[in-house]
Amino acid sequence: MSINRIGVYPGTFDPLTLGHLDIIRRGAHLVDRLVVGVTTNPSKEPMFSVAERLVMVRRELAEIPGDIAVVEFDSLLMDFATRESASMIIRGLRAVADFEYEYQMAGMNQQLNDDIETVFLMADVSLQPIASRLVKEIARYGGKIDKFVPPAVVADVAAKLGK
CATH label of the domain that carries residue 15: 3.40.50.620
Kindly report whether the global pTM for this prediction surpasses the value 0.75. yes
- pLDDT score of 1: 46
Whether residue 16 is contained in a domain is answered as yes
Contact (CB, 8 A) for 23 and 104:
no
Mind listing the pLDDT tens digit for each residue in 45-91?
899 999 999 999 999 999 999 999 999 999 999 999 999 999 999 99
Whether residue 1 is contained in a domain is answered as no
Secondary structure (3-state) at 32? coil
Give me the sign of the Cα torsion angle 76, 77, 80, 85. negative
Whether residue 20 is contained in a domain is answered as yes
**Tally of domains within the chain:** 1
Known catalytic residue at 94 = yes
Whether residue 148 is contained in a domain is answered as yes
Residue range(s) defining the domain that contains residue 50: 6-161
Known catalytic residue at 29 = no
Whether residue 143 is contained in a domain is answered as yes
> Where do the H-state alpha helices sit in 13-131?
18-28, 50-61, 77-83, 96-112
Secondary structure (3-state) at 90? strand
- Provide mean pLDDT across the span 35-44: 87
Catalytic pick from 25, 26, 94, 160?
Answer: 94
**Which DSSP state fits 126?**
G
Whether residue 144 is contained in a domain is answered as yes
- Provide mean pLDDT across the span 88-114: 88
Whether residue 131 is contained in a domain is answered as yes
- pLDDT score of 11: 95
Q: Taking the mean position of all CA atoms in its chain, how far away is CA 30?
A: 16
- pLDDT score of 44: 75
Residue 8 scores a pLDDT above 50 = yes
Residue 100 scores a pLDDT above 80 = yes
- pLDDT score of 129: 85
Known catalytic residue at 20 = yes
What is d(CA 18, CA 14) in angstroms, rounded to the nearest whole number?
12
CA dihedral 10, 98, 151, 24 (to 10 degrees): -40
Whether residue 150 is contained in a domain is answered as yes
The C-alpha angle with vertex 28 and arms to 60 and 120, in degrees rounded to 5, equals 105
Catalytic pick from 5, 44, 133, 140?
Answer: 44
